[in-house]
């Protein structure tokens, strides 16, 4: 089975326009996510799904593949579904474009679980410790 990561990256966010290109330690956030995803599935199997040419320019300059999706996709999942129609893989992993600390081993584990259970939907999660307040 073949697996890829699709990273939905919307420029036209109403809450934070341009968020995927926000600089973090001198690099656009979307590139941090793409590089970590590439550690899990290889750079040739990482795609950034976006509606904006500015994001395409940045990711392609860094050697990643971009898929232009419509401006009408309401959510990242909608954008991923649209992008998946352009590709031919068995497994599509959705890594959000604002997860610059995603652990490549977590992505690998999701792929392994999906391969072992092809009819199941696999979601990653993190336990919240008693010292954390998710509402703050």
Q: Transcribe 59-120 into DSSP letters.
A: HHHTT-EEEE--TT--SHHHHHHHHHTT---SEEEE--TT-TT--HHHHHHHHHHHHH-TTS
User: 15: phi > 0 → left, psi -120 to 50 → alpha, else beta; which?
Assistant: alpha
Span 15-51, pLDDT tens digits: 899 999 999 999 999 999 999 999 999 999 999 999 9
Supply the mean pLDDT for the chain. Answer: 95
Q: 87 Cβ partners below 8 Å, 6+ apart?
A: 4, 6, 47, 67
Could you please report the per-residue DSSP string of 86-102? T---SEEEE--TT-TT-
Q: 41 Cβ partners below 8 Å, 6+ apart?
A: 3, 4, 5, 93, 107, 108, 111
**Residue 3 in tokens:** 């697996």
pLDDT above 90: residue 9: yes
pLDDT of residue 133: 86
pLDDT band at 126 (very low <50, low <70, confident <90, very high): confident
Q: What is the pTM of this model?
A: 0.92
Residue ranges of domains in the chain, CATH in brackets: 3-116 (3.90.550.10)
**Which one, of 6, 17, 100, 79, lies nearest residue 47 by Cα?**
6
């Amino acid at each position: 089975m073949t697996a890829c990561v699709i990273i939905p990256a919307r420029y036209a966010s109403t809450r934070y326009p341009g968020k995927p290109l926000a600089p973090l330690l001198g690099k656009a956030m979307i590139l941090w996510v793409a590089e970590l995803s590439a550690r899990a599935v290889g750079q040739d199997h990482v795609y950034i799904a976006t509606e904006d040419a500015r994001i395409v320019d940045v990711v392609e300059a860094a050697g990643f593949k971009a898929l232009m999706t419509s401006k009408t996709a309401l959510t990242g999942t909608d954008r991923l579904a649209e992008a998946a129609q352009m590709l031919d893989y068995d497994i599509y992993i959705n890594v959000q474009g604002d997860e610059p600390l995603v652990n490549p081993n977590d992505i690998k584990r999701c792929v392994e679980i999906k391969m072992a259970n092809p009819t199941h939907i696999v979601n990653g999660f993190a336990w919240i410790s008693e010292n954390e307040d998710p509402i703050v």
